[in-house]
Amino acid sequence: MEPSTSLLLLVVGGTLLVYLLKLLSWNWNRKLPPGPFQLPLVGNNSLVAKYSVKYKGLHNGLSKLCKEFSTDIIMIKLNGDNMVVVQNEGLIEQICTREEFQARPDTFFIRHRSMGTRKGITMTDGALWQEQRAFAVRHMHNLGLGKSRMEYLIIEEIQNVFAALKEGGSNIQIRQHISACVLNVLWAMVTGSRFKDEETLKKLISLMERRAKAFNMAGGVLCQFPWIRFIAPERTGYNLISQLNGEFKNFIMAIIKEHRATYDKDVTRDFIDAFLHEMNKNDPESYFTDDQLIMVCMDFFIAGSQTTSSTLDFAILHMILNPGVQQKAQEELDRVLAPNQMPSIVDKPRLPYTEAVLMESQRLSHVVPIIGPRRVLSDTKLGGYDIPKGTTILMNLVPLAKDTTKWPHPNSFIPERFLEEKGQDKYERNMYSFGKGKRRCPGEALARSFMFIFFASFLHRFKLEQNGVVPPTLDPVPGITLSTTPFDLKLSLRHPQTTK
């Protein structure tokens, strides 16, 4: 045998021995959740990738693995980290509310998302997260979140969409109109005004879409082998993500520069002004910096725009596929609103069926199928199993929507199921759409208001029909968030006689 071959076998054998010893020591005296055998070095990456492709999405692949082990909690090794996947409502409730599950993982990929740091709100924890989340919630409310100013912004942008659509027509791609509408509202809340020109808005929409695709492409290999970026920076998507991060940073910094040029310490025009006030206090113990402001803005736009746009896109698609439901909602809208009248948040209690339709769409087409990730802060137990400190927790929400004990006929579109509940109960039944506990989405009030007003306005103004003979599909485009397979829409004005 050649010396080089002997050396290679020795290295491989030694690596496997170290891995097995580490695995045995890690599992010793622990009752860990069941799961597939973890291959040395690569763990379960190839298996999860295979199942994700075969069953059309990571959430479906993980759900299939749970079924194979007859459990709602499994342990896998993914991207170099030990992960526990949970898809049981009681367990998810515990993860959302127990203190030891409130942290975020600290990985290369998450840091790369945050431009090489751990900043922002979404992917941080500890003192930084507590300070910045409380500040963001407080000042967004002061600036109109949940108030009449917010509703005015929403209605103004929806009217701009109606002006662009005019009397409707065929071959309409509604997603681009929704995205523009959502981003303009978010932009006004954060920077004080809507986009000054369409080209700037299109640039931001394009930037965010390209960035989402890049992260989907790079997530696996860069998470598992961060060092591979030095060997194949183009093929791994590392260069593209770095480029897009730079573009986004320059985009936001230009806005911050404009604010500084017109800054008045006694005036708070928007969220950026409020943040600059804190920065100018020069408190060495605070986390108010340029990089933090950029990442908070990025969190607002990524979390708010993608999920809200996709939710409304699916809701419109469900109306095309369920014309009877659409008609019933429109009859309710006609009883409450005058022709072409814009609905308001105060109208929501008088439009229970319309709201139920929107919620049923969210149940059947959950745009964020896996929430998390969470990092376990101390050795603990969950569902009778030992969960070691540092483990990453993923919560798979989609199986909750198919639970026949909670949702009779789960594959059918039945809005009436949400009319049975009152108050907050109906939101809690809606599969943790905005999370729960300390990490509940801080923009929930804005998102719920926007979705309701847009959806009710759209249904009241237009009749929605499929464009062509072949109906569009509900099969989503997989990714970190799910989106609709592109479809064309036919719109007809419902009250043309009153339209000028």
Q: Where is the binding site for heme, in residues?
A: 441
What DSSP element (H or E) covers 424? helix 424-428
Distance CA 182, CA 303 (A): 11
Count CB atoms within 10 A of the CB of residue 93. 14
What are 271's two structure tokens? 């969220």
Supply φ then ψ for residue 370, to 5 degrees: -125, 115
* Burial status of residue 473 (CB atoms within 10 A of its CB: 0-12, 13-18, 19 or more): exposed
Q: Judge whether 442 and 304 are in contact, CB under 8 Å.
A: no
**What gap in Å lies between CA 352 and CA 37, rounded to an integer?**
49
Q: How far apart are CA 38 and CA 81, in angstroms?
A: 11
Name the β-bridge partners of 374.
Answer: 393
Annotated binding site: 441
Question: Distance between CA 52 and CA 62 in Å, rounded?
Answer: 8
Before 373, cis peptide (omega within 30)? yes
Beta carbons within 10 angstroms of residue 116's beta carbon: 12
- HEC sequence for 254-281: HHHHHHHHCCCCCCCCCHHHHHHHHHCC
CA 453 to each of CA 84, 146, 409, 459: distance values in angstroms, whole numbers, following the listed order: 38, 13, 28, 10
